Structure formats: C-alpha cells, structure tokens
Structure 1
Amino acid sequence: MNITNFRDLGGTRTIHGRQVRPYKFIRSGQLVGLDEETKQELVNRYQVTQVVDFRRPFEIQESPDDRIDGVTFTNIDLLEQSGTNSASLDDFASLGSADQVNGHMLNVYHDLVTNPAAQQGYGRFLRIVVGNTQGATLFHCFAGKDRTGFAAALVLWLLEVDDDQVFADYLKTNEERVEANNQLLDLFRAKGFDQDSLDALQIALCVKKEYLAHAQQTMLEAYGDVFTYAQQALGFGSDQVDALRSNLLE
C-alpha cells in the first residue's frame, strides 16, 4: 500500500460501546503515484467506492489523483473563500518563523470551522458519507492532516467517540508522515532554503493537539456542541446524524 498517512477508522469505539465498521470510513494523504497493487487493494480489500479530495485547484492541477476504475472522485475545496487559502509549502517555508507558522495553522483551523465554504464543504462531505451505503468513503487532502484531520474528528464526534480516541487518531499523522516529511524537507534543503525556513516547514508538516483543540473550542463557543454545529452550520440535522450512525456503526 503506497499511500502516505493511510488508515481505516474501522474499530474505533463510541462511548456507547458500538464501533465503526471496517472498510467504510478511510482517511489518507493524496492518491498520487499509486502502484497497481495499491489500486486493487483499495477496491478489493477496502471496498472504496467514493473518494473525496479536499484540495485546492492549484494542488490538484500540480498532482491530480490517480484514477481508479469503479471509484467516484469528488473535489470539495474547503478553503475556497479563506484568507489562508494560498498556503503552499513554499509559503510556509518563506514564513521562516515557528511562531508565524503556529499562528497561521490556528487561523486555518478557525477557518475550517467558521468559513462558509468550509461549512458548505463539510456538509456536502457528510452527505456523501451518509449516501455511500454500498462501499467505503476515502477522504484526503495533500498530507491528510488538517482538512482531513478535522473531517475525521467531526465524524467521530458525531458518532459519539470520546476525545481521547479522536485526538489519538489526529496525532497519529505525525508517526505516519515521518518519511514523507523528511523527503519534503530534503527537497527544500536542496532548493537552498535556510534552517529557519526548514524549521518553519517542519512545524507546518506536523499536527499539534492545540490545532484541533482550537477548532473544537471555536465550534463549542459558537454553537454549544457538535450536533448544533452540524445542524446550523453544515445543514446536517439529527435525522442525518442517525443515518450516519446507521451506515458507519456496527
């Protein structure tokens, strides 16, 4: 399986003792440069029928997902109207300071909760997951860490998975991306970026508990709880939450 930051969220337990079905809800980094064996495994073992790509148009243009027979691909640009929307890796490296990168990442997570395009996008994503009763939905962005990380957390919260498991899954990205991150840092080192820039980039390539906690706090302060947020901001009401649970939980 040559996909970075890939994991099936099956087996995750809710506070009521139910668990997420395997081969239903899968997160990853971008699906670029897949070998034939990986494509076959996605379809035959993981039963992927839907891929949701959260990347921006310039990211997709640079590295379009590999097509897979029998799989529907949907692009949802979550940062379309965001002030933080142009942050490519070069932008992060050129920020050149850890504090600036941290501040930028907190702004991104704030936008993922409050920005209208992100709200429309996550609502659409949830409806795709609910509607895909026949197979698995795989969702990703570039690194599978921020846009994807909040998407995974959002669904797990709606399924009533406790924070310990939600944050553990979120932080697992740092283990899963070590090799890929080192390759990117080598690439930028070879381009001639100085150590401050590489340090800034290193931060941008990792997740921190405080980022997701900031998104959660933003959501709770504005809406009270995840269910009100889903209903009011994402147009995803209690009947749809029930349908989500029916589809994803065993």
Structure 2
Amino acid sequence: MTEQPVQPQTVLAVPVPPARSLGLAGAVNARDLGGYRTADGRVLRHGVALRSDGLHRLQEADGALLGALGVRHVVDLRSLEEVRDAGPDLMPGLAVAVLPLDGGDPLVLPGVDPDSPTLHHLPVHARELDIAAVLRRTVAECDPVAARAELGDGGAARMMIGLYRWFVTDRVARERFATVLRLLAEPAAPPVLFHCTAGKDRTGWMAALLLTALGVDRETVLADYLETNVRVGALVDTLVASYGTRGLMAEPELLRPIFTADRSYLEAAFEEVEVGWADFHDFWRTGLGLDDAVLAGLRKNLLEDLA
C-alpha cells in the first residue's frame, strides 16, 4: 500500500493546543508546530518543524535560544529585494548570502562551521502581486484617491486572496514549497526553521501544506494560521496607526487586510487546490511533484505516537 496524505477533515476532532512561541524578542511570530494531532492518532513532535517571521531583527539572546533548539536548516522564503531592504538573517553561525543583482534562483550555503545551520534561500516572489511594492507605491504617491481606488472596497483583501491562489497555481512557487517539504523529509534534517518576512503568508501556506500532508484536520490548520493575529496583533495596530500619524496615508486602515491573517485567504489557496486537482493526494503527486518516499520521510522525522 502506498503512502497517501490524509485527506483534510472538516470536523475538529481534538482541541487545538496553543501554538508554542519560541520566545524570540526579535521575531515574535516564531513558533513550534509541535503538538498538533493527526487523523491517525499520532502527534507532531516538538522542536522539529519551526515557523517564523524574518530573522533580521534577532537580538543576542534570541541567538542563544535558537542555538539551544539545535536548528540545522534555515529556509528563507523572502525575495531578493526583501532581503536587501531588511537585511540578512542574524542567526549565529548562519552564512550571509551574497545575493545576485537580479533573478531569484535557490541558493544553499553551509554554516560557518560544521555545527552551524545551513541557509536555504528559496525566494517566493509574485511579481504581479508584489504586496511590498504596493505598500511602497502607496506611501510614495501619498494620493488618498489612488490608495482608496486600489485598496478600498475590499481591494486589499482581493489582492491577498489572489496571492494565496498564486501560491497554488504558479509552478515555481509550488516547486519552492515542495523543496522545503523534501528538506523536512531528509534523514537527520530537522530541526528546520522556515520563514518569510511577517511569517504570515508564504510561511502560513508552507505550514498549512505540511500539517495537511501529515493528516492534521483543516480547522486545526486554519487555527494555526490565524494564530499570527494573536502574536502580532498589537504590532499591526501600531504599524497601521503609524501610517496615519506620520502623514503617510489619509486612511491607514486600508492597509489592515494586508497586515493580518484572514481565514478567507488560506481557504482560497485550498479552494485552488480543489479546482486544479482531484484531491490533496493528487496535488501532492502532480502539483508539488512529491512521492510516497517524501511523505514517509516526513512522518518518520516529525511524528510520534501519543504517550
């Protein structure tokens, strides 16, 4: 019998344990996916699959915390421009990538010593749905009429939904997410930490793919995704307000749908899977190009029996 991802369930079978914060002062959305239960009665091990926002603001104490976790691989899903604008990941022992002027090919850099984590730069960048570019343009133009035309009346939410659908329909994006899943399935690869800038969109879909493949029910997957709003809600309030107090936008609330996680966004990605493929197993095989060996590796590396 071949391995198959357990099909998503519509009923929440068990209470959702609170998402485990990694306690990083410079990456408040960093958390452990451990503790989620699967449909076959197993549980995701703690400390093996970690999701985060950008690591470019890490403080010295944060490095010590990550070092204690024994992270072996760091996957950066940010675009070249995002890395240049915000800066590289600051995790101790992580090599600093010398990025090309253009392009966006994957880059793998061993750590500075044999015990340091390997950096995987896997940019997932939708040029036609570049949210960062929209923000820059909105601020630069400082035109309230143009901002409302683009972001008002549900425009910002539609933009986000389009981005999540792109995660599924774009071949290169699918390849990048599949690469992370392959890495997590490699013997002795975990702990693996994957992140983007906010730890919300690309990271959120990456986590949703992983949890779904392992047999975590859909409502739990959505709850994990929406946990971002708990982690960064206060920061989002401050950020949105700052666009007004600094005179950058007349209606800063237009930006809130971009900065928050919304159930409809993640559901749009899953809807796109259902439109293009017979089921999640079909998407796993022909959409992501993954086989039974990868799924078996994920289950071996990440799951354990309940005590």
Counterpart-to-counterpart distance in 2, 1:234 and 1:136: 22
Task: Name whichever of 84-93 and 52-61 sits farther off.
Answer: 84-93
- 1:217 pairs, out of 258, 265, 271, with 271
Kept in 2, the 8 Å contact 1:24–1:248? The answer is yes
Asked whether 1:23 is paired with 2:53, we answer no
Structure 1 residue 34 displacement after superposition: 1.2
Correspondence list, 1:153-232, <5 A: 153-196=208-251, 198-232=252-286
- 1:53 pairs, out of 67, 76, 84, with 76
User: What's the counterpart of residue 78 of structure 1?
Assistant: 124
Calculate percent identity across the aligned residue pairs: 30
1:104 aligns to what SS in structure 2?
helix
Kept in 2, the 8 Å contact 1:50–1:132? The answer is no
Q: Deviations over 1:43-82 (max 9, x none)?
A: 21x22111111111110001121142112111111225x4
Kept in 2, the 8 Å contact 1:227–1:238? The answer is no
User: What's the counterpart of residue 299 of structure 2?
Assistant: 245
Change (3 A) 1:91 1:116: farther
Counterpart-to-counterpart distance in 1, 2:65 and 2:91: 14
Change (3 A) 1:111 1:60: same
Counterpart-to-counterpart distance in 1, 2:248 and 2:153: 15
Task: Name whichever of 88-97 and 134-143 sits farther off.
Answer: 88-97
Structure 1 residue 101 displacement after superposition: 0.5
Runs of at least 5 residues in structure 2 that lack an aligned partner in the other structure: 1-23, 94-115, 140-146
Change (3 A) 1:16 1:91: farther
Runs of at least 5 residues in structure 1 that lack an aligned partner in the other structure: none
Q: Deviations over 1:68-104 (max 9, x none)?
A: 2112111111225x42135343357643415110110
TM-score, length basis structure 2: 0.76
Counterpart-to-counterpart distance in 2, 1:84 and 1:61: 19
Counterpart-to-counterpart distance in 1, 2:60 and 2:158: 40
2:244 aligns to what SS in structure 1?
helix
Structure 1 residue 141 displacement after superposition: 0.7
Counterpart-to-counterpart distance in 2, 1:29 and 1:123: 20
User: What's the counterpart of residue 139 of structure 1?
Assistant: 194
Q: Deviations over 1:8-55 (max 9, x none)?
A: 0101100111000100001110002212211111121x2211111111
Kept in 1, the 8 Å contact 2:124–2:202? The answer is yes
RMSD (Å) for aligned C-alpha atoms: 1.8
Structure 1 residue 225 displacement after superposition: 1.8
Structure 1 residue 123 displacement after superposition: 1.3
Counterpart-to-counterpart distance in 1, 2:294 and 2:237: 41
Kept in 2, the 8 Å contact 1:98–1:203? The answer is no
TM-score, length basis structure 1: 0.92
- Give aligned pairs, total: 247
Larger radius of gyration: 2
Task: Name whichever of 127-136 and 57-66 sits farther off.
Answer: 127-136
